[in-house]
Each structure stands twice: as structure tokens, then as C-alpha cells.
Structure 1
Amino acid sequence: MDRRTFNIAMTIGAGGLIAPTLGAAPRRAGRKVLALYSSIDSVMTRYEVDVEAATLTFGETITLPSSIQYAWPLPAKRALYAVTSDAVGGSRTITGQVHRLCALRFGPRGKLVPLGQGEVLRQRPIHMTIDRTGSHVLVAYNVEPEITVHPLRPNGAIAARLPQPQGLDYGIFPHQVRAVPGNRSVVLVTRGNNAGGGRPEDPGALKLFHYDSGRLSNLTSIAVGGKGGYGYGPRHLDFHPVKPWVYLSIERQNELHMHRIVDGSFAPVPDFIRKTTEQAERGVAQVAGAIHVHPKGHVVYVSNRASGTRKVNGQDVWVGGDNTISVFAIDQTTGEPTLVQQADPKGFHVRTFAIDPSGRLLVAATMVDMVVRDPDGLRKVSAGLSLFRIAPDGKLDFVRKYDVTLPEGAQQLWVNMVEVDA
């Protein structure tokens, strides 16, 4: 795909792969509105959010060059950045050909408009972030582990990647990259892999790097458990808004860890380790997922995922497990997390969820359709967007779910809420 084809592929429409079931977006007075963006395959959909009513109103869609893997808003530049790929997630052999880093401008009410030509990437990106100064995009890759760093131009467009030194330790199967508070270091969360298919286990770790104006150098590697990273599979992390605490979702062990941040790095041993679920069924694949700390810092949320199936009369039917969002209250003196609730999103496999900036609404994106057993036989549960009101104590109250239409083979991979100009 050349530059001209790349720009043509980045088109805007009112249709797309998600079938809108909501009304047309009304114009409301006021300087700011809240927009929710969700991705299904290569299509990004914008909704307007009414936090008080806990409702979504369909806006429009924009189609990117290939399947959207992750995105990150930068309100200061009125822009959203997304990484896309046509590779098959997790595959070591079907690596795809169309890998892109795209910049999108927020128009009125958050309508997305392509900004610049974007960047061609050489392999499937799995995650991305913006550094703490808003001056660079960092992209993480899992099959051939790597971080690329791309400066942002004053208008928000993406510049060519910066060269990095040889010998950087990227670990095995990176799943997230984040800039540490203070912007003097970057952490790459490397999950490793379970043993299977004749392959031994790959160890996980937290890989930390010195960070100086987009340049990386090795800082330290942390592998919890004393086994060189075996039996340790971190996926994602999030930072407390005020305290020097970082919370990690440990995917392969279904745990939540809390480390202290010390001089731009993490304490090598977590202060607290908690199970994200006690409801996992024996013999069922159960993993932890996304993690977000509430904007006020008094609660941390972690998703639990179980979407294994077996054939029943020719259909793939769910085999059981825990699909919830675990709510942990945070002790503001010690940082200790305590499980206080497990909320049901009425769907399967919450890969991502989002909290509105005011901290009053949580939207969870269930990734897949699922066939389940009930007393009347088999029924389909659609993927969707599940809305919860957030109580003052951080607990979740389910309000409604909007089903979404998934084309064959597609998944709902990403969701976020952004305050934009009206």
C-alpha cells in the first residue's frame, strides 16, 4: 500500500461494520461534549455520551487502513492516534502486510478527520501511548519485540521514527508500553507465554528504560516470583493519579500487583498481591485483562476474561469461567487494594473499558459474540458496550448494554471516552 492508497483507505462514512441502532446525535449547547470511540476491525465509531442519563448516541464512523489494535487520545493537540494491522493477533506466522500509525484530528463534537499521512510500520503493533510531555508516540510490538518512538509535529502530525541504540532488552511478547510519571523512564510490560503446542513457557517481565527526549536506554528488568519470570505474566498497568503507586494486571496468573515507584523505576517486589477472581473453574482458560485506576485514585478496576468454547451440535458454546470487572478499593495510606465487588457486563471477554473524565461512568467493551446454554437451550449473547454508573465509593451499577454487530471474524478491541469541543 503506497502513500496515496493509504490516504484513500482512511475514509469517513455513516455506515461501516457496526450497525448503528441509536438515534441521530442532537446538537447540545456548551463548550465541551463527551465522545466515546470504539473500534471493530478497521472501523472506528464515534458516539456522544450523556453521563447523567448513561446513554450513547451514534455519531458516525471512520475506516482506517487495517484492523485497529489500540488508540490513544491527546486532547492538548486535539488529536487521536491509532495503530492498525491486518496480522492475526498472537500468530507467529500470519504476520500481515498493512501496519500503520495514524493521526486523526478531533473536529466539532469529536468527529475524526485524518491528520497527515501517518507512518508505515514494519510489523503488527499491539499497543501505543503518548509520553508525558505530549511530544512523542511510543509503539509496542509483540512478535518481534520492540518499541518505536515517533516525534509529533507542532500541528499533531507524526514525524519519522527516531533511531534507537542496539542491545535494548525488549523481553518476550510485550503487551503494553507506558511513560512513567516524571517522563524520565518508560516501562514495557512483557507477558511471556504459557507452555503449549509443543513450546515451553516463555518468561514475563517488566522492562524499564531511561527515557530522554524520545531516546531509550536500558534501566532495569523486574520479574516477580524469584523464578526468572517463569510463572509471571503481566499484561497491563496503570498509575495512581497522585501517589507513587503502580497497579498491574497479571494476565496469566489472574492477579493484581501493586508496586511503589522509586526514582523512575519500580520496587522489585510488589507491596501487595491479590487475586482478581476466585470464580475460575477448574480446567477453564481464565485470564486477567484491562486495568484502570479511577481518576480520584480511590478504586482500581480489572477485567476478568473467559471465552473458551467447545462444540455442541456443531456450534461453539461457552465452557464457563468468570467474565466480570473486579472492583478494588485502594487504601490511601498504604495503597493496599481490597476486592469489594465483581460487576457483570452481560457479555464476554472485556478486553478494554473506559472511565469518563469525571469518574461517574464506566463503559466496558465486550469483545466477542458467544453462544451459551440456558434452561431453554442455546442462545447467542452479542458483543456490546456495557454502561455502568460509578457510585461515590467506586462500585459499579449496571445500567444498560448496547449490542453491536460483529462481521465474521471481527472483534471489538478498543474503547475510550474523550472530552472534546462542541
Structure 2
Amino acid sequence: MSSPTPSNNASNPRRVAIFNSVGNVVTRWELDAENGTLERRASIAMPSVVQYGWPHPSGQYLYVTSTDSERGSMSITGSEHYLLALKLDDDGGLSLHGEAQRLRQRAVHNSVDGEGRYALTCYTAPSHVTVHPIRADGTLGQQIEQGDQLDLGFFCHQVLPTPSNRSVVMAFRGHNPSPDKPDGIPGSLKVLDFADGQLTSRQDVMPFGKKGYGYGPRHVAFHPAKPWVYVVVELQNELHMHQMIDDRLSPEPLFTTSLIQEPAVPGIVQIGGAIHVHPRGHVVYASNRVSAKTSPIGAFPFDAGENSIAVFAIDQETGEPKAIQFADPHGFHVRCFTIDPSGTVLIAATLAAMSVGTDDDRQTVPAGLSLFRIADDGRLTFLRRYDIDLEPGVQQMWVRAVDLDAAVPSESLPQVLAASNP
């Protein structure tokens, strides 16, 4: 599929909306990409805590998942699990659109196929995937029952349609060794064929001949023009690059590199996070995160480890990623970040507040939205941050940029997709 060329015409700037979630509230912001500023426009409350969201290809709707389940639970807990459609109003508003679809458990990631006909949702424990139809008016239909028994892995973290729209890639993170499971639990990437709302298991990827042990992929991202797939391997703090030919991944990564600058500090939960390829395809970004138990003052105590946004230049002949920068996110634990469609601004959402300093002199750095200018070579320069005040136990889970002007009307998407895939 051909990719649009990012536009940065200051005389005719594109309207871009930024969406983030804090607890059960989704907020819409307007981005001024030229000046690197945000203006809050509207907020709307969901029935439970928002986990993730994905826009319709038309730019007219947004699909979010919410839950009242405890994060990290290894079983089904809670009862308020939903997939919801939101309408993006022309006046900057945000409204519920159609009937919310109940889900059986906490969702961790959701996406929309390239034609905007189906919403895909995945779940961690137990691993599961569902498909809901998207009607012509953008509302959601009832879940489509899957005809085949799917071969799924452990602790799914992403379901993402491939550029061809004929398959999806799912990332199963597995688990590191523990006292109960000294060998850990294997992770994998799986490719499933996708047609008319039906999924069919086709390929397992468990590299290095270890049957998935010691392999914990979290998210993948596709290059906009080349057959290259970049993978954040969360548990091992690595970035891998696979080739994808005819919707099948190379069994082994062609390139691997560390996500972090120094080896992980023993006793610190150092993990990889989100990943995005720049719209021009010349760099790939990934977030590094440090987790910790909650401190008495209500913020995560930061003692050691690396919180950063890693920038990797992509060799345009081979696809090899090479680190060129590790940018300070001016906050802690970037679970999600997003790039505006012009490719000139990156927005990082920090999950929670962090307390820094000694026990006698600790200061709290609040959660926030950090904005960066993206240089021509992909490097990041910090512009500003917008502090996000969090109530106890509330976190900022997600952020996403949506192009409102370059959107293709939903009724035209099948013809456009066919024209770009002769």
C-alpha cells in the first residue's frame, strides 16, 4: 500500500485532534503543529476506565475500550468491560455514537481494519480476540462469532491489521521466570488471516530456537513503504526487525538491538513500551519505562532505570535500526505516545506521577503530555508539557493523534484501498 506524504504547509495547516484518557475520561485536544501547542476542546466520561483507542480510517469516529478490572490480573475480574464508538464532531465536540458493546473481560488493545469495516480487540488473561462489525454510519454491531478454533499464546498485548488488510499480527508477551515458573512463560508473534470478519491462525513466530521462552514482544509497527516490521520486545528491552512477505513474518529477526543505553538495573522493572514508525519511514521510535510499587505520597518512586523515548534511524536499504538519540520524556513511564500526521510533532503521555529525590527531600513530577519537535533527521527537541492531575489510583493510559482534514469519507474507503493495492 502506498503511503501519504506528510504535509507541513504552514499556510494551510491540517486540523489534528489529540485524544488522551485519564481514568474513565477521554479528552479531545486541538493540536497546533506549527507552534507545538495543545488546546483542550471537550471531554466525555466512559462507563469504566479507558484502556486504549483507535480511530476509524475516515477520521470521523473513535473506538475505545474500557474496563473496571484490576490491571495485571491473571484472571477475569470486574463486570464493566466495553467497546464504544465515539463521534468526532466538526465543532470540536465528542459524543457517544450508537450502542456500547459489552465485552467478556478487560481489553488491553484495540484497532480497526484498513477498510473501516471491523473493530478488533484483544485481551490479556486469558488471551482472547474479538471482532465487531462497523456499520456504514460508524456504529458498532454485535460480536462476530469465529468459526475456527484459534491458536493463541499467553498474555496478548496487541492486535494489528497488516498493511494489506488481509491478515492481523498479534503480540503475546508471555512472562519472565518467577519462583512459581522458573522457566517463565513463552511469548510469540502470531499471524492470523483475516477475511469477512473471520480470523484463521496461520503462523507462529518464536525466534532463537527457544520455543518462545525468554521472548516477550509487546507491540509491532509497520514501515509505511517497505516490507519491514519493527517489534518492541518488552521483557528483554530489545528492538527487532522482521521482514514481511505475502503477509508472513520472517521466522527470525533480521536485526536486533537494545532499547536501552545501559544494562537494566537489577531489582528494577525496566520494560519496553510503545513503538511507532515515522510517516516518512526514516526513523522508528520506542518508549522505555520503569515500574515500581506505589510510595506513601501516592507517586511512583523513581530510584534507578531508564525512562526515555529511543530514536532509531532506519537504513533505507536494509531496514536496520540504529540508535541516534534517547530523549528525556520530561515525565515518567511513557505507556503510549503518538506522532501527528505531518510528522513534525511527537506527543508522549506519561502514565503516572513519579517522586524523585531522597527520602528526606522528595519532589513529585506529575503525569503529563510532553510535546516534541521532530527534526528532519527524526531527532526530538522538547517543546513543552501539559501537566495532568491524577486522583489517587488513576492513570493516564493512552494518547492518539487523528488527522481531521485528510480523512477519506467512510463510504469511499473500499474504492481507495482497492486503487492503492492493484
TM-score normalised by L of structure 1 = 0.89
8 Å contact 1:169–1:218 — kept in the other structure?
A: yes
d(CA) in 2 for partners of 1:67, 1:348: 20
Q: 2:38 aligns to what SS in structure 1? A: strand
What residue number does 2:93 align with?
A: 111
Alignment of 1:53-64 (within 5 A): 53-64=35-46
Give the aligned residue type for 1:101: L
- Aligned counterpart in structure 2 of residue 401 of structure 1, from 378, 385, 389: 385
Task: Supply the distance in 2 between the matched residues of 1:313 and 1:123 (Cα, whole angstroms).
Answer: 31
Identity %: 46
The residue that corresponds to 1:255 in the other structure is 238
> Counterpart in 2 of 1:390?
374
Select the residue among 284, 293, 297 that pairs with 2:277: 293
- Counterparts of 1:23-422 in structure 2, within 5 Å, are 33-76=15-58, 78-93=60-75, 95-196=77-178, 198-200=180-182, 201-279=184-262, 280-309=264-293, 317-373=301-357, 377-420=361-404
**Letter in structure 2 aligned against 1:214:** G
Is this contact kept in 2: 1:252–1:287, CA < 8 A? yes
Q: Give the Cα–Cα distance (whole angstroms) in 1 for the partners of residues 297 and 96 of structure 2.
A: 46
Partner SS, residue 58 of structure 2:
helix
Residues 293-323 of structure 1 deviation map (CA, whole Å, 9 limit, x = unaligned): 0000000000000132586899863221000
Letter in 2 for 1:338: K
1:64-121 CA-to-partner distances (Å, cap 9, x unmatched) read 1111110001141610000111101111257111000000111024421111012111
Q: Are the structure 2 counterparts of residues 155 and 197 from structure 1 closer, same or farther at C-alpha, using a change threshold of 3 Å?
A: farther
Whether the 8 Å CA contact 1:307–1:348 is kept in 2: the answer is no
Q: Secondary structure at the match of 2:153?
A: coil
SS of residue paired to 1:225 = helix
Match of 2:209, SS state, is coil
Deviation at 1:197, TM superposition (A): 5.6
CA separation of 1:109 and 1:257: change in aligned 2, threshold 3 A: farther
Distance in 2 separating the partners of 1:421 and 1:266: 34
For 2:346 and 2:301, how far apart are their aligned partners in 1? 28
Shift in Å at residue 374 of structure 1?
A: 6.0
For residues 382-406 of structure 1, what are the alpha-carbon distances to aligned partners after superposition, in whole Å with 9 as ceiling and x for unaligned? Answer: 0100010000000000111111011
Change (3 A) 1:151 1:398: same
Q: Secondary structure at the match of 1:368?
A: coil
Code of the aligned partner of 2:209:
G
Alpha-carbon distance change, 313 to 417 in structure 1, aligned in 2, over 3 angstroms: closer
Task: Determine the C-alpha separation between the residues in 2 that align with 1:155 and 1:379.
Answer: 49
Answer yes or no: is the 8 Å Cα contact 1:254–1:277 preserved in 2. yes
Which amino acid in the other structure matches residue 51 of structure 1?
A: A
Change (3 A) 1:244 1:109: farther
Q: 1:355 offset after TM fit, Å? A: 0.2
| Distance (Å, rounded) in 2 between the aligned partners of 1:359 and 1:388 | 11
Report the alpha carbon displacement of residue 199 of structure 1 after superposing the two structures with TM: 3.7
DSSP-derived class of the 1:217 partner: strand
The residue type equivalent to 2:248 in the other structure is S
Alignment partners' CA distance in 1, 2:47 and 2:335: 22
Contact in 1 for aligned 2:299/2:353 (Cα 8 Å): no
Looking at structure 1, the residues matched to 82 and 297 of structure 2 have their Cα atoms a distance apart, in angstroms, of 40
Stretches of structure 2 lacking an aligned partner (at least 5 in a row):
1-10, 407-422
SS state of the match for residue 169, structure 1?
A: coil
| Secondary structure of residue in 2 paired with 1:398 | strand
Which 5+ residue runs of structure 1 have no aligned equivalent? 1-28
| 2:415 matched residue in structure 1 | none
AA of the residue aligned to 1:360: T
1:9 paired residue number: none
Aligned partner of 1:50: which letter?
Answer: D
Q: Distance in 2 between matches of 1:260 and 1:205?
A: 16
State how far apart, in whole Å, the 2-side matches of 1:162 and 1:93 are.
Answer: 23
Over aligned residue pairs, what C-alpha RMSD do you find? Answer: 2.1
Question: Which TM-score applies when normalising by structure 2?
Answer: 0.89
Partners of 1:309 and 1:317 within 8 A in 2: yes
Q: For residues 198 and 56 of structure 1, what CA distance do their matches in structure 2 show? A: 47
- Structure 2: how far apart are the matches of 1:300 and 1:150? 31
Number of residue pairs matched? 394
Q: Distance in 1 between matches of 2:206 and 2:47?
A: 37
CA distance in 2, matches of 1:105, 1:366: 26
Deviations 1:34-60 (A, max 9, x none): 111110110001111111111111112
Sort the Cα spacing of 1:132 and 1:314 in 2 relative to 1 into closer, same or farther, 3 A.
Answer: closer
